[in-house]
Structure 1
Amino acid sequence: MNQHLKQTFIGLLLGGAAVLGIAPSLTAQSQQEDPALKIYRASATKVNDLVHTKLDVRFDYAKRYLYGKAWITLKPHFYNTDSLVLDAKGMDIKEVAVVKGGKNVPLKYSYTDELQLHIGLDKTYRPSESYIIYISYTAKPNELKAQGSAAISDAKGLYFINPDGKEPNKPTQIWTQGETESSSAWFPTIDKTNQKCTQELSMTVEKKYVTLSNGKLVSQKSNADGTRTDTWKMDLPHSPYLFMMAIGDYAVVKDSWRGKEVNYYLERPYEKYAKAIFGNTPEMMTFYSRILGYDYPWVKYSQVTARDYVSGAMENTTATLHGEFLQKTDRELLDNNNYNECVIAHELFHHWFGDLATSESWSNLTVNESFADYSEYLWLEYKYGKDAADEHSYEALMSYLSMVQYSGDKDLVRFHYQSREDMFDQITYQKGGRILHMLRNAIGDSAFFKSLNVYLKNNAFKSTEAHQLRLAFEEVTGRDMNWFFNQWYFGKGFPELDISYKYNDAAGKVTVILQQIQKDPKVWQLPMAIDIYSGGKKERHQVTMNNRVDSFTFAYTARPDLVNVDADKVILSKKDDHRDFSTYAYQYAHAPQYMDRRIAIEAAAEAHTKNPEALKLLQQALSDKYHGLRVLAASSLNMKNSGVQSATIAQLTTMSKQDPNALARAAALKQLGELKNVQYSPLFESATKDKSYGVQAAGLEALAELDPEKAYTIARQLQTDARGKLVSAISSVFARKGNPEDISFVASKFDEISGQDKLNAAFDYLGFLAKINNTEAIKHGVDQIKAMTAHFNNSQVNTYISNWLQEISTAKNREATTTTGAQREALQQQADIMKKASGEIRATIKD
């Protein structure tokens, strides 16, 4: 499962948390006192094993029901048994029987809290004997009370999207979401990760719809009533949470990989963009198969988009489901910065780590998700270079560190948690991915990828845990790896390093003093490289920090220009590095890593208004080979300083026009816009004709500061084809103008989108509502925001939006005190609407 939705939101949330005064939902003390955290979350006991699941389903769109028949083949795991427990959530159970000689023999059963079927078998079965249970049932997902999580916002398993066709801008679809244990909301099963079985699924649908499921489409049969029955068959075993269905009016764009089907299912307006969105999938399959030494194991690979999806994306075996946010036009992809490809790579890599070798419990979820997270790094490194990969890794690290600041840290492998849904966090994903990167660095590429190959071969079609991963690394390297796994997998936290230097020119020696200053008494074992740059040469030293304080002394003939600690920039840590700025200037020019240059740019950003050397460094960085660092350098400039202006304005102007990367052009435009100089009006107006929506947005926003009327005229022209950041820019211009005719643009754009895009747009919408003085529009907008929070049902989202609404209410009341008459009354009424909505949303927040 891809967690980008949550990750994106958390970054926004934490960016405003200090301003809005949001307190963490759980302090470390309250977590320790929570009785749920005292429960050891063991792997599910296996009494019976799933062998095969055959399903026959049809749908009642009006009632939002699934009418199903299930034939479930099982056998005792080890001990003889005369009973069976199946997960079956919120169903009407019509019949339960054992199949004998082709006939259904009724069985006695009880249905506990509409969650589990307890079935008495017709006899005691031995492990060598299999049996088939037949169940006729009705699944009623919309009547099921199921709570989701921050990563998976709903848990009813089966979703009817616009089933009555009453929403004009939304297609009619059906899709499923099984993780964590929601497949049992649409078919009876043993809904545990350590179960695996083969599968056959027949769906009866209207002929106009396309279907997708796991495995291969083996038959299509037209029925007398105008429907069609599609049967999909999966011959290799996988876990129940990976079973899936998707039904809708999709365009299917065909591709292939080594003779296997690779298909892309999209809404029809996006058919022409399918290859732009998904087209690198076959190359990814080749790349991952090669580095793992294990070819993509499944019969086909399809990807489908879904409206109103409850998570980022889901790696259902052979049939990944993506939120609609992945549907982008070619213009939108210019501003995407490989985000789509990271999502696609993540879900594909799960087909080895998660689908082939599956975590045996949610406690060990990281053996699924950390690898999928790290696959994003691997793909970016291969396809776009190490700088792109390292930037992505840095952003992932920041996401993890922000989460720790907000809600505290936890073990990577976690046997104590409140809910299994809590495992889907930045520890499991982003921290786990960074840990794998450290492990790769510690043992080398050859051993790392060979270890992954051994792990996959040893655990193919099985359930697994972190210890089996460790054993694979030990088998390959011949080294005991407990030191690494104990501190990173079975513990929490990270080291905080204080780095200082003592130079003795007389003796020709430099001593590097490393101190671990984290509050936790834990002492980390940290292998690292230290590079000494002296006399135009670089000398590498491999060291290991084993103590709270360690020092390492190195000889030199000429005083070093740079001592670069953790030269590969892989250690997951915070660092306080005590050195002169001149070393950062040298580091930018000579050290090779993305993080070397980034750290130097950040040091220059703090000093560039007073230090000519720092300003020179930023000037160099405006031409960095990697666009992400050009963006960082441009964004770091203090354009209010006259010296900074004169030194960089020519570069920024050229960058805004000629940089090949849209994000860099937009960053340069934004900085030039800070000058509020009318001589750049033609430049900003020209930017509004750029192919990139982001560049158009930057040009429009800058122009609005200089010529609001011209910006308004252009905004009116651009609104017919506005997406992404351009929507926000147009909304801002419209808010400034205050024309009631323009309010419908913002409201309708918010209605048109869903999923992550809607979540991000909500922040822009609130900013728009804060600026306008139109009670009717504010009431409608607040209702839209409230509906969104109800859909996401996420405590962190709701806390943030509730606080923001309260702040807007306070600001409007303050503004009301400066006016009189009808205007004052309107502002007070708007403030009351905001305050009431804030309270209503806050009332939905669960501790």
Structure 2
Amino acid sequence: MNEQLKLSLFGLLLGGAACLGTVNPTFAQSTALTPQDSALKIYRAAATKINDLVHTKLDVRFDYGKRYLYGKAWITLKPHFYPTDSLTLDAKGMDIKEVAIEVNGKNVPLKYEYDNMQLFIKLNKTYTPNEKYTVFVSYTAKPNELKVKGSAAISDAKGLYFINPDGTEPNKPTQIWTQGETESSSVWFPTIDKTNQKTTEEISMTVEKKYVTLSNGKLISQKNNADGTRTDTWKMDLPHAPYLFMMAVGEYAIVKDTWRGKEVNYYLEKPYEKYAKAIFGNTPEMLTFYSKILDYEYPWVKYSQITARDYVSGAMENTTATLHGDFMQKTDRELLDNNNHNETVVAHELFHHWFGDLATAKSWSNLTVNESFADYSEYLWLEYKYGKDAADEHLLEGANQYMQMAKYSGDKDLVRFHYADKEDMFDQITYQKGGSILHMLRNAVGDSAFFRSLNAYLKANSFKATEAHQLRLAFEEVTGRDMNWFFNQWYFGQGMPELDISYKYAPGKVTVLLQQIQKDDKIWQLPMAIDVYVNGNKTRHNVFMQNKIDSFTFQVAAKPDLVNVDAEKVLLAKRDDHRDFSTFAYQYAHAPLYLDRRYAIEEAVDLQTTNPEALKLLQAALGDKYAGLRQLAVDKLKFNNETVRNATIAAVVKIAKEDKNSLTKAAAIRKLGSLKDKQYIPLFEAATKDPSYGVEGAAVEALAELDIDKAYSIAKTLQQDSKGKLINSITQIYAKKGNEADLNFIATKFDETSGQDKLNAAFDYLGFLANLNNTPAVIKGVDQIQAMTVQFKNAMVNRYISNWMEQIANNKSEAGKRLSGTQQQDLLKQAEYMNQKAKEIKNGEAND
């Protein structure tokens, strides 16, 4: 499950910080659990295995009008160890028509009880572990009538979703798709819905002939029926967990690819067919890359990817058939501004086919063995394909998301046997912190041992349920080292170290003093490299911090130019590094890594107006080889200072005109726009014709600061082909103009937008409604935004939206009091409606 989207929405919210401002601790804490929460006292053990799933055969058809699935299930099982005469199946919110057991080819009815969540079946005899038996269940699944709770990462748990089933929503296709994680497969078929179960499967779906279908495994038959429907049968010969079962139905284009003789297919809505290779085309290369580094070839029969409207998460690693939210459907122009995000999602879900689908977490407490690896796979792909700078930037962003969450909502163990709800495991600890921990583990044992250990873990646990201890044992087997020190502090503990770093030089030697200053008493064991630069030469020293205070002394020929602690920049830690700025300047010029240069740039930012060396460093950073650091330097320039502006303006103009990276180019245009200098109007006008939507958007916003009428005129021409960041920019300009005729564009684009862009669009939409005195339009817009909160189901998003809505309502109320007659009545009515809806959103009533 991709958290970003496999971004829990906290990560999504942080991603929109430019729009939302600083995260308010009060808001974040409102979602935190209290230590007194009784649910936290429950030990969350792996599910007891009484019966084992062996094979699941399903025959399903759909009732679009009722939003029902009519199903028949043949479930083959055997007792796990002890003989048993009973079976409990998870079957949520169903009408159970028949329960029987197959005996000599005939169905013999069985006695059962059903409590709307589980089916308790009395078998026809006591079965031993050597005996298989097949239970038949005829049922109707009614997902829309089931009241269930989702999570921040997976916002709904109905299991089966009918999208626009009546065809009444314009510009939205009719689709059916499923979402099994965490335990929602049992909404659409009876099963033992636990991660430590594995079963082969066969699914027959009867659909209208105009639709294509997708499920796990291979499509083994298609049969045309007399009533004009078609039955597609998909078969999965290798066992996997029930939460990874999937179905998808819709009018899709199928773009075919291949890898080592296996099908690799991409299912998209037809308008995006021509962009399929741009979106998913690196999948075969990823299959080769991951198979090689793991020394374990992709084990499944095929690999397909499909998009879904109104999807409740980012993406889901259903075995052989990954489901993506429709945010993945992007044109070539949109992908220019994507910063490889689509690729990291593709990589994440694909890597799950080893870590999660092949070797599966035994319980949700051990979710790290699924999600931390998928998170780290994003780093591995970026490092391989785009270089270490891109990978390190991505890892830093994830670590910062974790630190923000820990600061405001509290830290927790990576492996958690106590939680209030299994959905709570889908957080920045399991994902981003877990990815950073794997990066440290890789550094601690070395690349060769790291990947060989992953291979040993996979081979030992293929088609099994597993946990973090088995990962530790694999590393110990390969390295010959006891790894409890690492796993105890990072996997079975919480928090991270805080380091105070200082230096002392005496002739012939330099001493590094490391102090752990975190508030708790935990002492972290931290292997790290320290590089000492003297007279242009670098000497590496590998050290192991094991005490609260440690010092390391190194012999040197002269006073060092730089002592670079944690030279590999792998430690997940807060640090206070006490050294002169001259060492950071040297670090930028001579230390090779992204974080070396980034930390130096960040040190220079605060000194740029007072320290010529710092300004010189920022000038150099404007020409950094990595676009992300060029963008950082541009963003942090203090153009209100004449010295800074004069020293850097030429480089910023050059970036605005020529940089090959669209995000960096857009940043430079925004920076120039802040000057409100008419000499750059020709540059801005030229940029409104750029292939990148982000560059166009930055340019038209910059123009709006100088000539709102010209910007408005250009925005009107750009709106005909506008997506992503350009929509946000156009909406902001329309809000400034306050022309009611632009309402339809904003409302329509808001409906069409998804993912992070929709969250940003909500604030732009509210900005437009704030200046609009049209009561029906305001009510419609507020209702649209409230509907968005139903989709996100995130307390922080709701709090931000409702707070701003209340502010706008107060402004309208005050404005209304200064007027009279119809105008007053309209504004007061709008204010009253906004306040009412803000309260509903804040209280979560919109999510019921």
TM-score by length of 2: 0.97
Cα distance in 2 for residues equivalent to 1:695 and 1:18: 25
Q: Secondary structure in 2 aligned to 1:301?
A: strand
Partner of 2:677: 677
Deviation at 1:20, TM superposition (A): 5.9
Structure 2 unaligned residues grouped into runs of 5+: none
Q: Are 1:503 and 2:505 matched, yes or no?
A: yes
Write the letter of the residue equivalent to 2:718. Answer: L
Cα distance in 2 for residues equivalent to 1:21 and 1:286: 44
Moved more, 835-844 or 425-434: 835-844
Deviation at 1:785, TM superposition (A): 0.7
Contact 2:25 2:408 in 1 (8 A): no
Cα distance in 2 for residues equivalent to 1:59 and 1:818: 57
The one of 11, 23, 26 aligned to 2:27: 23
Cα distance in 1 for residues equivalent to 2:755 and 2:117: 29
In structure 2, relative to structure 1, the CA distance for the partners of 1:824 and 1:632 (3 Å cut) is farther
Partner of 1:656: 656
Cα distance in 2 for residues equivalent to 1:239 and 1:212: 18
Q: Secondary structure in 1 aligned to 2:27?
A: coil
Contact 1:312 1:756 in 2 (8 A): no
The one of 99, 103, 116 aligned to 1:100: 103
Contact 1:310 1:755 in 2 (8 A): no
The one of 446, 449, 456 aligned to 2:448: 446
The one of 85, 91, 94 aligned to 1:88: 91
The one of 228, 241, 244 aligned to 1:242: 244
Write the letter of the residue equivalent to 1:783. Answer: D
Partner of 2:282: 280
Deviation at 1:835, TM superposition (A): 1.6
In structure 2, relative to structure 1, the CA distance for the partners of 1:651 and 1:14 (3 Å cut) is closer
Deviation at 1:798, TM superposition (A): 1.7
Partner of 1:718: 718
Deviation at 1:825, TM superposition (A): 5.3
Cα offsets for 1:309-341 (capped at 9, x unmatched): 000000000000000000000000000000000
Q: Are 1:9 and 2:12 matched, yes or no?
A: yes
Write the letter of the residue equivalent to 1:486. Answer: N
Partner of 1:70: 73
Partner of 2:535: 535
Cα distance in 1 for residues equivalent to 2:112 and 2:823: 67
Cα distance in 1 for residues equivalent to 2:607 and 2:437: 33
Q: Secondary structure in 2 aligned to 1:23?
A: helix
Deviation at 1:139, TM superposition (A): 0.2
Q: Are 1:586 and 2:589 matched, yes or no?
A: no
Deviation at 1:550, TM superposition (A): 1.0
Cα distance in 2 for residues equivalent to 1:8 and 1:772: 32
Deviation at 1:168, TM superposition (A): 1.1
Cα distance in 2 for residues equivalent to 1:778 and 1:555: 72
Deviation at 1:791, TM superposition (A): 3.0
Cα distance in 2 for residues equivalent to 1:549 and 1:437: 24
Cα distance in 1 for residues equivalent to 2:439 and 2:127: 47
Cα distance in 1 for residues equivalent to 2:621 and 2:697: 24
The one of 152, 164, 167 aligned to 1:165: 167
In structure 2, relative to structure 1, the CA distance for the partners of 1:523 and 1:811 (3 Å cut) is farther
Deviation at 1:10, TM superposition (A): 3.2
Deviation at 1:822, TM superposition (A): 6.0
Write the letter of the residue equivalent to 2:205. Answer: M
Deviation at 1:13, TM superposition (A): 7.1
In structure 2, relative to structure 1, the CA distance for the partners of 1:813 and 1:578 (3 Å cut) is farther
Q: Spell out the pairing of 1:684-723 with structure 2 (5 A cutoff).
A: 684-723=684-723
TM-score by length of 1: 0.97
Deviation at 1:256, TM superposition (A): 0.2
Cα offsets for 1:212-233 (capped at 9, x unmatched): 0000000000000000000000
Partner of 1:520: 520
Write the letter of the residue equivalent to 1:300. Answer: K
Partner of 1:181: 183
Cα distance in 2 for residues equivalent to 1:724 and 1:532: 46
Deviation at 1:738, TM superposition (A): 1.1
Cα offsets for 1:143-169 (capped at 9, x unmatched): 011110000000000000000000011
Cα distance in 1 for residues equivalent to 2:774 and 2:561: 62
Write the letter of the residue equivalent to 2:625. Answer: K
Structure 1 unaligned residues grouped into runs of 5+: none
In structure 2, relative to structure 1, the CA distance for the partners of 1:182 and 1:541 (3 Å cut) is same
Deviation at 1:787, TM superposition (A): 1.3
Deviation at 1:23, TM superposition (A): 3.4
Cα distance in 2 for residues equivalent to 1:817 and 1:570: 59
Q: Are 1:483 and 2:499 matched, yes or no?
A: no
Contact 1:20 1:804 in 2 (8 A): no
Deviation at 1:136, TM superposition (A): 0.3
Write the letter of the residue equivalent to 1:623. Answer: G
Partner of 1:395: 397
Partner of 2:206: 204
Write the letter of the residue equivalent to 2:50. Answer: V
Write the letter of the residue equivalent to 2:466. Answer: T
Write the letter of the residue equivalent to 2:190. Answer: P
Cα distance in 2 for residues equivalent to 1:125 and 1:501: 71
Partner of 1:372: 374
Cα distance in 2 for residues equivalent to 1:709 and 1:667: 23
Contact 1:306 1:323 in 2 (8 A): yes
The one of 250, 253, 262 aligned to 1:251: 253
Q: Secondary structure in 2 aligned to 1:169?
A: coil
Q: Are 1:463 and 2:468 matched, yes or no?
A: no
Deviation at 1:734, TM superposition (A): 0.7
Partner of 1:602: 602
Partner of 1:223: 225
Q: Spell out the pairing of 1:22-41 with structure 2 (5 A cutoff).
A: 22-25=26-29, 31-41=34-44
Write the letter of the residue equivalent to 2:109. Answer: P
Cα offsets for 1:427-474 (capped at 9, x unmatched): 000000000000000110000000000000000000000000000000
Cα distance in 1 for residues equivalent to 2:818 and 2:452: 70
Moved more, 822-831 or 489-498: 822-831
Moved more, 333-342 or 833-842: 833-842
Q: Spell out the pairing of 1:659-808 with structure 2 (5 A cutoff).
A: 659-808=659-808
Contact 1:816 1:824 in 2 (8 A): yes
Contact 1:694 1:725 in 2 (8 A): yes
Q: Spell out the pairing of 1:544-563 with structure 2 (5 A cutoff).
A: 544-563=544-563
Q: Secondary structure in 2 aligned to 1:22?
A: helix
Cα offsets for 1:321-365 (capped at 9, x unmatched): 000000000000000000000000000000000000000000000
Deviation at 1:755, TM superposition (A): 4.4
Write the letter of the residue equivalent to 1:202. Answer: S
Cα distance in 2 for residues equivalent to 1:378 and 1:604: 30
Write the letter of the residue equivalent to 1:102. Answer: G
In structure 2, relative to structure 1, the CA distance for the partners of 1:698 and 1:757 (3 Å cut) is closer
Deviation at 1:404, TM superposition (A): 0.8
Write the letter of the residue equivalent to 1:22. Answer: T
Contact 2:16 2:756 in 1 (8 A): no
Cα distance in 1 for residues equivalent to 2:176 and 2:238: 25
Partner of 1:431: 433
Deviation at 1:607, TM superposition (A): 0.9
Cα distance in 1 for residues equivalent to 2:661 and 2:822: 49
Cα distance in 1 for residues equivalent to 2:460 and 2:130: 24
Q: Are 1:46 and 2:55 matched, yes or no?
A: no
Cα distance in 2 for residues equivalent to 1:782 and 1:614: 47
Partner of 1:270: 272
Contact 1:285 1:296 in 2 (8 A): yes
Cα offsets for 1:501-525 (capped at 9, x unmatched): 1122xx3222111111111111100
Deviation at 1:816, TM superposition (A): 5.3
Deviation at 1:549, TM superposition (A): 1.0
Cα distance in 2 for residues equivalent to 1:277 and 1:19: 32
Write the letter of the residue equivalent to 2:334. Answer: E
Q: Secondary structure in 2 aligned to 1:24?
A: helix
In structure 2, relative to structure 1, the CA distance for the partners of 1:772 and 1:548 (3 Å cut) is farther
Cα offsets for 1:15-41 (capped at 9, x unmatched): 74757673334587x621000000000
Cα distance in 2 for residues equivalent to 1:233 and 1:209: 19
Write the letter of the residue equivalent to 1:696. Answer: E
Cα offsets for 1:573-628 (capped at 9, x unmatched): 11111111111111100001100000011111111011111111111001100000
In structure 2, relative to structure 1, the CA distance for the partners of 1:354 and 1:375 (3 Å cut) is same
Deviation at 1:768, TM superposition (A): 2.9
Cα distance in 1 for residues equivalent to 2:75 and 2:53: 7
Q: Secondary structure in 2 aligned to 1:368?
A: helix
Cα distance in 1 for residues equivalent to 2:494 and 2:814: 46
